[in-house]
Amino acid sequence: MMVRDQIVSNAHFATLLREQYQYIMVDEFQDTNSLQASIVDGIMDGQEQPNILVVGDDEQSIYRFQGAVMENVLNFCDKYRVQDLKIITLIENYRSTQTILDSSRAVIRENTQSLERALELDKSLQARAGITEEPIFLIKAPDPAIEIATLIHDIKAKHAAGIPWSEIAIIYRKNANPVHLIEVMRREGVPFHKQKGENLLHHPEAQKLMKTLMLIGNMHRNDLFWEVILFDFW
């Protein structure tokens, strides 16, 4: 926030930034918050031909709970449209089958706010992965027990048909979701490996930062002082 305020109130500081950063690229632009977008705009303001490239996908904007503002993508297009804005749409997909792409698109198309609607773009993805197509089955189970039983039966059927265990995956929303499923898989003799993302707060660098902040909050923590003072980032 201090940087943004300085750009707005200190013309000399803003000029230095514009001279130092003449070309700017922002990746994952759909995950930026309002403050980050305003800093970029502040650096670009006043330039007749802004040299800026942003890469992002409004349909992947899922971090609003962390402050991300998808409207930054739409606002960017409105702001720079009069300055020879060029939009490059990447439609080749190397991760999914066409069936998956078309099905997910049918759901995403219901969004009321999107670049596709605002700018009349065609973002129909084309599968290039070379993966064997299979239909999508939607199963509506009356209760969790039947859902798990149906899932286990399908997994066993696929394995019996020659598909290796290692090529069968189950994706779930929360780490707590598969607890009962794992119990049944063990009982039914279905091998599995559970994988979850790393908690960033457990990362060594994050731990150093947290301990530093704890010490700043209480300088009488002698148990932390000597540990923090020996951190390698001083």
In a domain, 170, yes or no: yes
The CATH number given to whatever domain includes residue 117 is 3.40.50.300
In a domain, 139, yes or no: no
- Asked if 208 and 175 sit in the same domain, the reply is no
Number of domains in the chain: 3
- Asked if 78 and 109 sit in the same domain, the reply is yes
Cβ atoms within 10 Å, residue 125:
18
pTM equals 0.64
For 68-119, what is each residue's pLDDT tens digit? 888 888 888 888 877 788 889 999 999 899 999 999 988 888 888 788 887 7
For 22-64, what is each residue's pLDDT tens digit? 899 999 999 999 999 999 999 988 788 889 999 998 888 878 8
The whole domain housing 58 covers 2-127
